[in-house]
Structure 1
């Protein structure tokens, strides 16, 4: 069963242990909780605050889409960091730099065409029943040595961007499906799997709603045992299931991916 994702540990205050016989007064720090999500005005002020800090402290960062002045991106990272402007700035700095260095804005159908033609990964034409875009990976078609790792990574990011563009209004997450039928050790690629989850964690936080591992064979078990600790909290998003589950719980008869049709 899929579990809820935690992108950060609970926010605990750190207290020193005090003897029960101590006569000293225990100072308990006050907690100030700002529900900025319920107050658009406050949220907008924080967006401007973060934008100004990025411009002042990191003016070397690019502007534009996924740049230091991208207010939509800033708001998303503020939500991810519970509206802590300091934490948002820290995570945004890394994300903006990565988007620029990776060349995300330069990715296109043509630039990933060679790898995409293998059919090992693609965005499904239809949304699932929860109105989430669907990114499908057919693991048996992935051979780590067949292409340069960078090419596989480019296809991965291009498809994430493509899936996000299919998000309906009011929806924020996508569904990932790994079709593991026919999977063998020649298809195992722990480095790429951790790259995929790291990309979601650091650069597309809270965009991955759930991951289905479909019909995982016994040979996949040791791969998962090695990969699970590397995925950190994202491992809790994974659900092992059957083709029947995919058909009955995630799609209608008209929207089921052709690879799962009986």
Structure 2
């Protein structure tokens, strides 16, 4: 049986260093929001999922992001509290999506036309908590300017890029949605719905927090539509000011240029 630990500091407060004994560090084998399972049992569960996928979904691709990708299998097991029955259908959906989008083949060149809009990018520096930062400038997104599939590809590429910057011991990234200059013509419920699904279905437990920065009045109706879709993830969202971003998430040297003035 797995025993779940959910250790999450209050949003909007600094993480404080806490002295822990070597013994307590050994007990917390897996990190925040995961369950403690003995290593030998974890391997057995990974093998069980892999064999189940081969037997029941043998048309799924193999290799990185495929049905035999043990790192991905392990992550989805953690997400589903090490339940094989719960992990398999979610993993199957994720593998199919990654194959359809071509996640393993995405590159700077393949997403260049959308990336050049500057509407989304991965920040060069980590925040003060050691998290890679994915920034979205909502005022630069115009529905229909690019195909939905192109926006999906850019999103997948940037999430993968952010995850590749994770330091040892870190598992989650920070999302910043810069809403300065947001207008009704920037509203794209279809894409927002996709992003919510992406972090729930395809990259579960990879998003530590989302900052909605300087949300204008016209964003309120959008939020009322989107909030119910977040389900249990809504506590991850924090509405804040530019000043909060400056003071609570970055140093002078690591602050994104867009938040310097």
Shift of 1:208: 0.7
Deviations 1:215-257 (CA, angstroms, capped at 9, x unpaired): 0011111111111112322322110000011011111110000
Q: Is the contact between residue 196 and residue 229 of structure 2 (CA under 8 Å) also seen in structure 1?
A: no
Which of 1 and 2 has higher RCO (CA within 8 Å, sep 6+)?
Answer: 1
| Local SS of the residue matching 2:168 | coil
1:157 and 1:148 map into 2 onto residues whose CA distance is 14
1:66 and 1:196 map into 2 onto residues whose CA distance is 19
Deviations 1:47-78 (CA, angstroms, capped at 9, x unpaired): 11111111122111111001111110011011
Residue aligning to 1:120: 119
| Local SS of the residue matching 1:158 | helix
| Local SS of the residue matching 1:201 | helix
Shift of 1:192: 0.6
2:66 and 2:213 map into 1 onto residues whose CA distance is 37
Residue aligning to 2:176: 177
| Local SS of the residue matching 2:121 | strand
Change in 2 beyond 3 A, CA 1:36/1:212: closer
Shift of 1:150: 1.5
Normalised to the residue count of structure 2, the TM-score between the two structures is 0.85
Ranges in structure 2 where 5+ consecutive residues have no aligned partner: 1-9, 13-33
Residue aligning to 2:202: 203
Shift of 1:36: 6.4
Give 1:1-262 correspondences, 5 Å limit.
2=11, 37-262=36-261
Residue aligning to 2:20: none
Shift of 1:38: 4.0
Residue aligning to 1:29: none
Task: Between 45-54 and 246-255, report the one with greater CA deviation.
Answer: 45-54
Query: Number of aligned pairs?
Result: 231
Deviations 1:187-221 (CA, angstroms, capped at 9, x unpaired): 11111111011011001100011000000011111
1:204 and 1:186 map into 2 onto residues whose CA distance is 28
2:113 and 2:190 map into 1 onto residues whose CA distance is 21
| Local SS of the residue matching 1:209 | strand
Change in 2 beyond 3 A, CA 1:36/1:245: closer
Change in 2 beyond 3 A, CA 1:169/1:184: same
1:228 and 1:55 map into 2 onto residues whose CA distance is 37
1:233 and 1:194 map into 2 onto residues whose CA distance is 15
Instruction: State the structure with more CA Rg.
Output: 1
Residue aligning to 1:17: none
Change in 2 beyond 3 A, CA 1:243/1:36: closer
Change in 2 beyond 3 A, CA 1:245/1:87: same
